[in-house]
Amino acid sequence: MRIKISKYYQLILILAVLIPVAIFGQDAEVSYPKQIGIGLKSGATYSLLDVGIPVQQTNSSLVPSYGLIFSYIHAKTVGIQLEVNYVTKSWEENPIGDYFFNAKLNYIEIPMLTTLHFGNRFKFLINFGPYISILLKEESSHNVASESDYFSFYDSRSPRKGDFGIMGGAGFRLQTNIGLIQLEARYTYGFQNLYDVTETNLDYSNMTTIGFYLSYQFSFSDDF
């Protein structure tokens, strides 16, 4: 039985705000050099849909992702990271036999992340926080026969125009004389049902994404 997570949304978002505030408050007593990073990121994402019907197999592949990245570090272990990304989420479902459904969704995704980092020039970092996304383009097709019990689950699928959720990841950041180089793996979970429940008869349809990213940022600091 799938556990409904809607009642945990507020708790997760509150913790995402309070944890960095508490850590930042401890660091704020000591003065650290401020650092701003602005740059580009690229990578690949792997997406799957957590869907409320029996599916014998789901498939996906790594697809490219691009974006802009802004980071601000004001304390020893805490910073913020804002991004504007172009993300493609694609997958294929095989509900039964030779039937298939495939979809490709293109989004503008805006993460608002808290960064915890540990180290000097070479840092281990953890990123977490909420995101919102706006659907730009959708492509989908299926070959499910109209007499199949699965037809109603696939024929009326129309994704919502946006999504929101939470993401978290970990990686490394190298501070060099020419800027910041960052490598990160990230997991994303969409809180909102991708498809309307009344239109598709799906109890839930939440998108999960795993991403791998490399970014370069020009660095501006008062102590670099």
Residue 207 domain flag: yes
Domain containing 14 — which CATH number? 2.40.160.20
pLDDT score, position 203: 87
Residue 121 lies in a domain: yes
Q: Give domain status of residue 170, yes or no.
A: yes
Each residue's pLDDT, cut to its tens digit, for the chain (224 residues) gives 444 444 445 555 555 555 555 445 545 445 566 789 999 999 999 999 999 898 988 889 899 999 999 999 877 788 999 999 999 999 999 999 899 999 999 999 999 999 998 888 899 999 999 999 999 999 999 999 999 989 989 988 999 999 999 999 999 999 888 889 999 999 999 999 999 888 888 889 999 999 999 999 998 875 54
pLDDT at 12: 52
The domain of 212 spans: 6-221
Write the CA distances from 100 to 31, 68, 159, 176, 205, integer angstroms.
58, 35, 17, 48, 17
In this structure, is residue 216 part of a structural domain? yes
Give Cα separations from 13 to 49, 111, 206 (angstroms): 22, 13, 18
Number of domains observed in the structure of the chain: 1
Distance between CA atoms of residues 120 and 99, nearest Å = 54
Residue 27: inside a domain:
yes
Phi, psi for 202 (deg, rounded to 5)? -85, 130
Asked, for residue 151, whether it belongs to a domain, the answer is: yes
Q: Tell me, yes or no, whether 183 lies in a domain.
A: yes
> For position 73, what pLDDT does the model report?
84
The pTM is what? 0.82
What per-residue confidence (pLDDT) applies to 17? 52
Residue 1 lies in a domain: no
Question: How confident is the model at residue 7, as a pLDDT?
Answer: 47
